[in-house]
Amino acid sequence: MDREALKRYLKQGLSLPQIGELVDRDPSTVGYWLKKYGLVPNGRDKYAPKGPPGREELEWLVAEGLSSYKMASRLGVSVSTVRHWLRRYELQTKPGIRRNYALSQSAKAGGASRAVLECSRHGEVEFVRRPDGGYRCSRCNGDGVQRRRRKVKRLLVEEAGGKCAICGYDRYAGALEFHHLDPEAKSFGLSVRGVTRSLADLRAEAAKCTLLCANCHAEVEGGIAVLPHRYSSEAGSPAPG
């Protein structure tokens, strides 16, 4: 595109879409050439992407009791943007809190074990009823379980030496596995999904194992690799875990 022609269009006060129509190009293409030539488009502030609303700014709007629609109007962004950042900051509008309370009371009165409510992080999702009668977001509950599993796995891996007993791999705890030295003594598996029992039970089970990376574990169970002598002598032979 010609630089001088673009300068003339800008002097006439034309916007990116208007210039695009004249030269039969997409506005983004026009913007690219303006930037390349060091020219500033008319109405740049209008087309510039808006940054995310700050937490403190949203907290003030929540304190005012505004709905997400009114917040979007005040901030000049879309409602979906407001809802995204409310969830990101774990904030909830007062209308949403009142709505959740009314719905949860209705569900509780009907004896419902589940109810669709609004989570500040995940939007409208299914909530499950807690033993105390309240409701908890099923996705938040699942996230909490996953966090505990990862935390306990890291702890058990650290206590087991933190590395593969054969090759010494120690880069990622998720790639390390517990191999039962004596399958007859195995009470339960220590896979990530199985890490939901009490910490005392998990430690007792981990004491029956040696730590291997996923690759070495597969080779030991396939009879390709052999455990170091200190492990094989304690357990007899490297039987599958």
- Please name each of the domains of the chain with its CATH number: 3-47 (no CATH), 94-141 (3.30.505), 147-235 (no CATH)
Cα distances (Å, whole numbers) of residue 93 to 7, 57, 123: 47, 13, 12
Does residue 167 register a pLDDT over 80? yes
The band of 234, judged by pLDDT with boundaries at 50, 70 and 90, is: very low
Exposure of 157 by Cβ count < 10 A (0-12 exposed, 13-18 middle, 19+ buried)?
Answer: buried
Task: For residue range 94-115, list pLDDT tens digits in order.
Answer: 656 666 666 677 777 777 788 8
| pTM greater than the 0.85 cutoff | no
pLDDT of residue 94: 67
Bigger pLDDT: 219 vs 135: 219
- CA-CA distances (angstroms) from residue 199 to 149, 156, 158, 190, 205? 11, 9, 14, 12, 10
pLDDT band at 91 (very low <50, low <70, confident <90, very high): confident
Which of 183, 172, 182, 167 lies closest to 217 in space, CA to CA? 167
pLDDT band at 239 (very low <50, low <70, confident <90, very high): very low
Q: Percent of the chain, pLDDT > 70?
A: 82
Residue 22 has phi, psi (to 5 degrees) of -70, -40
Place of tokens 């791999």: 169
